Structure 1
Amino acid sequence: MMRRITPISSPWSNAPTPSQSTNSSMLMSRRIFSPSPERPELAPAAARVQAQVLTPTTPLQTPPTTPQPTPPPTAPTLTPTYNISISSASTLPPHDLTQCFDLISLTSADAYRDSSVGWSPTKKRREMKLPDMKYLVVRRVQTQDRADGDAGSDRATTEKEKQKGGEGEKEKKEGGRKEEEEEEEEEGDILGFLSFMITYEDGLEVIYCYEVHVTPSMRGQGIGRRLLASMMEIGRRIGMEKAMLTVFKANVSAQRLYEALGLVTDESSPRPRRLRNGMVKEADYRIMSVRLDGGPYV
């Protein structure tokens, strides 16, 4: 039940990976060994990934919503958008890491308990903090659109500030900083995330998905599909041969999504075993993969 996965030096981090045994993303216990020598030739591609794919944050398509009454002309309207940002385990704020762990616990803890792996919060937290672990995080961002009716009040405010001179400019700057702080607070909680690591699998360089979770209220909006496609595009751009993940066989809906994205049962996925008493024992998980010779995926 143990699989040996050797992280290679990540294009985003030069930090070494400690040797330790941890739970895998979706179900398996994985043994992590020391990384192989540096791969400087991957750095330019990694920079392009961060610049072109996920930096600045990549907006997701806003899911359809029930039509709402048109607000009065002078009332500001809030338009929800969804952004993906990329972080490493070391740069992801502790509060965000806790939210990600809570989402795993909410959506998958029971599945872990019912499996041959079991559920260990301590091991899962330790795995989430591995130096080479990367995170794609989805948040809702509210953008405020002012109606035309606000133009008159804006012009009036500007005239008053001109009369006040420097004092008006100072108030304007302070007000701008305050609005920025409020805007950051309005970004809200994490709606979904995907964690991945660059590893060796059976002698091939692969991008391995450890976790992909979406809050129950946001399922069916295409967020999970976009996260997986973004990970596949990252792998393609930095020259990985395959994208891989592990999934519980009981999670039928997740397997349908992965198959729709082109993933199939990997050759390393465990086969049924015939026991001495004649019974056939099947693993309760499935390893899936897709070759990254297509794309672009996003």
Structure 2
Amino acid sequence: MYSPQALARMQTVQTLLRQDAALSAYEAPQRPCPVAIHWVPSALDLRPGELDACLGLVHATSGHDYAASAMGWDPRRKRDEMLDADMMYLLLRPAQGGPDAILGFTSFMFTHDDPPHHDRPVLYIYEIHLHERLRGQGLGSRLIQFVESVARACHIPKTMLTVFTANTRAKSMYHSLGYTRDECSPDDRTTRNRVIPAEYAIMSKSMD
């Protein structure tokens, strides 16, 4: 059972998605790889095949970064994170394809900032992954901008995301969209002989 606030936010996402001409342009048949954009209001509404396809995309695009990090690649742990009931999804399916075929997705959640600002609401972008057929078309930026429009419409003052420091391409895109290192982002560690860079960065953007 959803709270009135959650229902209102869901309605906002639906309305904004219906009105977003820039995003819906990727559904046009003349696009190099037209997609059908489907919104899932809760991870609990994902079909098993959809979840498997999304998890596969995470592994295909970022599995090497996870494997190289201290946390490693743990599909069970990642699946549990992706199945949080409060997680919302935008799925990008091929315009002509099976119901569980996923070429890209973004997931985001209404949550709260890290201490000492834990009373401040934020919209956290958890994942954004695109099959190589969808890259180089500005779609990643457009998905982030859509989530930002949701934040503004719901009066959320800040969006946040996490990125592996090794993923320079993603970091460059986030910087171009106005994201900067958040104060809660982990610092590099300095030992007697060298500096050990943080494996990931937390980035944020004010919606004011």
Cα 1:239–1:270 shift into 2, 3 Å:
same
CA apart distance, 1:240 = 1.3
Say if 2:168 is the partner of 1:259: no
- Cα deviation digits, residues 44-82 of structure 1 (max 9, x gap): 3542332232589962335755xxxxxxxxxxxxxx633
Matches within 5 A, 1:1-298: 14=2, 40-41=4-5, 43-54=7-18, 59-61=24-26, 62=28, 65=32, 81-87=34-40, 88-142=42-96, 189-202=101-114, 203=118, 204-275=120-191, 277=192, 279-293=194-208
Matched residue type, 1:51 = T
Cα 1:278–1:188 shift into 2, 3 Å:
closer
TM-score, length of structure 2 as denominator length: 0.84
CA–CA distance in structure 2, aligned partners of residues 52 and 278 of structure 1:
52
Highest relative contact order (Cα 8 Å, sep 6+), 1 or 2? 1
Which secondary structure state, in structure 2, belongs to the residue aligned with residue 190 of structure 1?
coil
CA–CA distance in structure 1, aligned partners of residues 98 and 71 of structure 2:
38
Gaps of 5+ in 2: none
- Whether contact under 8 Å (1:140, 1:188) holds in the other structure is no
CA–CA distance in structure 2, aligned partners of residues 94 and 210 of structure 1:
19
- Larger Rg, first or second structure (1 or 2): 1
Which secondary structure state, in structure 1, belongs to the residue aligned with residue 111 of structure 2?
strand
CA–CA distance in structure 1, aligned partners of residues 100 and 25 of structure 2:
16
Which secondary structure state, in structure 2, belongs to the residue aligned with residue 116 of structure 1?
coil
CA–CA distance in structure 1, aligned partners of residues 18 and 70 of structure 2:
36
Gaps of 5+ in 1: 1-12, 15-37, 66-79, 143-184, 294-298
- Count residues in correspondence: 200
CA–CA distance in structure 1, aligned partners of residues 189 and 127 of structure 2:
27
CA–CA distance in structure 1, aligned partners of residues 124 and 157 of structure 2:
11
Which secondary structure state, in structure 1, belongs to the residue aligned with residue 24 of structure 2?
strand
